[in-house]
A and B are shown apart, each in its own frame.
Chain A
Amino acid sequence: MNSIIPYLIVGAIVFVLGIFTIVYKKNAVGILMGVELVLNSVNINFIAFAKFVDTGIHGQIISIFVIILAAAEAAIALAIILNIYRMKATVDVTQLNKMKH
């Protein structure tokens, strides 16, 4: 494909889906998947821009860092979610409401 538009459309769709997932999911693992979707939409954008705008490969390099980050974040997030499950026997984030104003 020689036009940037399809890449942008796919990126935007994935971004919006990710945000909706984060907002509407009650399951902590589901929210984590939403975050991954958003980060991947960023990756699509960066790689598309690296191809069409930049003469170098900056976009591709930063997308590798984003992938690494997503993995690190998933590891820590799953560890925290595991502890929540151990304590409350549920991963529903609406149950996490001990602290209030």
Chain B
Amino acid sequence: MTASEILKMMPLIIVLATPLITMLIIALHRNHLTTMIVSVIGLVLAIIAIPYSKALDLTKIGELLIIDNYALFYFLLIFTATIAIIIPSYPYLEMRFKGNREEYYLLILTATLGSSVLAASTHFVSFFLGLEILSVSLYALISYLRQTNEGIEAGLKYLILAAVSSAFLVFGMALIYSQTGKMEFNALMQFFSNSSKLNLISIVGLVLMIVGFGFKLAVVPFHTWSPDVYEGAPAPVSAFIASVSKGGILALLFRFFSQYDVLNSKPLFLIFALLAVFSMFGGNFLALLQTNVKRLLAYSSIAHFGYILVAFLAGNNAQNFKGVEAATFYIVSYFITIIGAFIVVGIFSTREREAMSVSDYRGLYWRHPWLSVAFSAMLFSLAGIPLTAGFIGKYYVLASGIDNQLWTLVIILIVNSALGVYYYLRIVVEMFSQPEEAAETKHPSPSVGVMTGLILAVLTIALIWLGVYPTGVIGAIKISVMGL
């Protein structure tokens, strides 16, 4: 490996080194605040390394990794999101967990590493490795609050289902490998584009891989784990699963199919279209019935991944990557909103339990005007109300669908957006309604730390800024998607 290759990989190397250094620091001096600060510094250094890495010309690192603009864009997104999740984790853990809190940061950092390896991988080996670094860290993170029944239960559920889905995925890889003898994405897609060579085994392999993808993205009908895991996991970890973990897998999905014309291939188009339709309807209808905010966010995230799949169908290489562009913008806005929403849920948690029921938020405006405004902004964006990032994202997805005449999918998307508005607004209405008399004693008012408040403020401002002036971010996404 040459020096310039090492320089090119610098962001990844820093993210790899940070947990190692953190581990040593924990061995020498166990302190919660120090660990948190060191991990944030590591991530900030990794972000600083991104422009230097971008300036270098070469992209391919051996056979396994490709660090192009697309990968670097996702690195930036993943690292920033992780920082936004780590900082509010500090007061959350201080309040809710009485064991060793420091290892939490190690696990989050390794999970981030896994997710960013996914965004940069072009080979089955790096794909598998990244996915498993991510999932194995998540098993431990989900059951981190090990004195709670829910945490342990969620951890075991995720462990079994994720292990089975990885097994399906890797079995699919084996079947594809048996037909091609290759594991590089580009070579595989050349094979699949040449329909004369396709046979039953390779198609079964591809379907098994899509099942694996579906499990990780929690699209219907592979979604059953997600509400339980979102509910049982600590709020910051739920935010991490919803954003960073799914983002890395989506980045890989886009890259995997980037050279393949999904839109004009009958069976694959049908599979993804069905997944998208089921996820949109399933997610939204199940969310309508929910009174638990964390489960509601879980179902709504199922629906959001249905929307993203519509954009994914609307085009990659053959359509000039318009669809991937829209999907990437949607992911950016979705990251901001879902992380913000879970931060608010984390702030309202008490030592005994998390603020999960919708009634916990009753009259929030009268106690915490700023918090409730930030939370409303997040919910409006999830619902796709104008002037928020969610609206521009949805508009973009719709536009890419209309460009390719996917009328059925577009109409279903619009109907579902209307459904979504109802259950998001229900929480908003609850927040702004008058509290009952005894409310003050029932919900002890939480204290918001300076840093957590700052993160929340930045997220809210970013949300509105993207909703009003998205040009800059869209330009960056266009450049990054071009080289895919």
Contact = CB atoms under 8 A, between A and B. Distances in A.
Interface of A: 15, 18-19, 22, 28, 31, 35, 38-39, 41-42, 45-46, 49, 53-55, 58-59, 61-62, 65-66, 69, 72-73, 76-77, 79-81, 83-84, 87, 93, 96, 98-99, 101
A12 B160 CA distance: 20
Interface string B405-419: 000000000000000
A66 B154 contact: no
A96 B232 CA distance: 12
8 contacts: A49-B181, A53-B181, A62-B125, A65-B132, A72-B132, A77-B159, A77-B163, A99-B232
Interface stretch (B67-75, B90-98, B145-153, B247-255): B145-153
B140 interface: yes
A62 B129 CA distance: 9
B125 A58 contact: yes
A94 B232 CA distance: 17
Contacts of B177: 46, 49, 53-54, 58-59
Contact of A42 (B129, B171, B227): B171
A99 B150 contact: yes
Interface majority SS (helix, strand, loop, mixed), chain B: helix
Contacts, number: 114
Given A45-B171, A98-B153, A80 B227 contact: no
Contacts of B163: 35, 73, 77
B149 A62 contact: no
Contact of B170 (A39, A77, A84, A101): A39
Contact of A62 (B140, B143, B152, B183): B183
A101 B136 contact: no
B285 interface: no
Contacts of B128: 62, 65-66, 69
Given A58-B125, A76-B140, A99-B150, A39 B160 contact: no
A78 B56 CA distance: 44
Contact of B149 (A18, A49, A81, A98): A98
A42 B157 contact: no
- Interface-centre pick from A45, A46, A62 (highest chain B CB count, 10 A): A62
Contact of B156 (A39, A45, A58, A84): A84
- Interface-centre pick from A15, A22, A61, A73 (highest chain B CB count, 10 A): A73
B159 A42 contact: no
- Chain B interface size, as a band, is 35 or more
A88 to B, nearest CB: 8
Contacts of A76: 136, 139-140, 159
Interface string B114-151: 00000000001100110010001001100100100110
A73 B170 contact: no
Contact of A45 (B155, B160, B174): B174
B132 A69 contact: yes
**Across chains A and B, which 10 residue pairs bring their CB atoms closest together, nearest first?**
A38-B167, A45-B174, A53-B181, A54-B181, A35-B163, A49-B178, A96-B153, A69-B132, A76-B139, A99-B228
Given A69-B136, A99-B232, A53 B157 contact: no
Nearest to B184: A58
Given A54-B177, A99-B150, A42 B167 contact: yes
B261 interface: no
Contact of A31 (B160, B173, B181, B231): B160
B159 A80 contact: yes
B170 A66 contact: yes
- Interface-centre pick from B124, B152, B170 (highest chain A CB count, 10 A): B170
Contacts of B182: 54, 58
Contacts of A80: 139, 143, 152, 155-156, 159
B164 interface: yes
Interface string B335-377: 0000000000000000000000000000000000000000000
Contacts of B174: 42, 45-46, 49, 59
A84 B152 contact: yes
Given A35-B167, A59-B174, 6 more contacts: A53-B178, A53-B179, A61-B125, A65-B129, A76-B140, A77-B156
A98 B170 contact: no
B181 A55 contact: yes
A55 B182 CA distance: 10
Contacts of A46: 174, 177
A87 B183 contact: no
A72 B136 CA distance: 7
B296 to A, nearest CB: 12
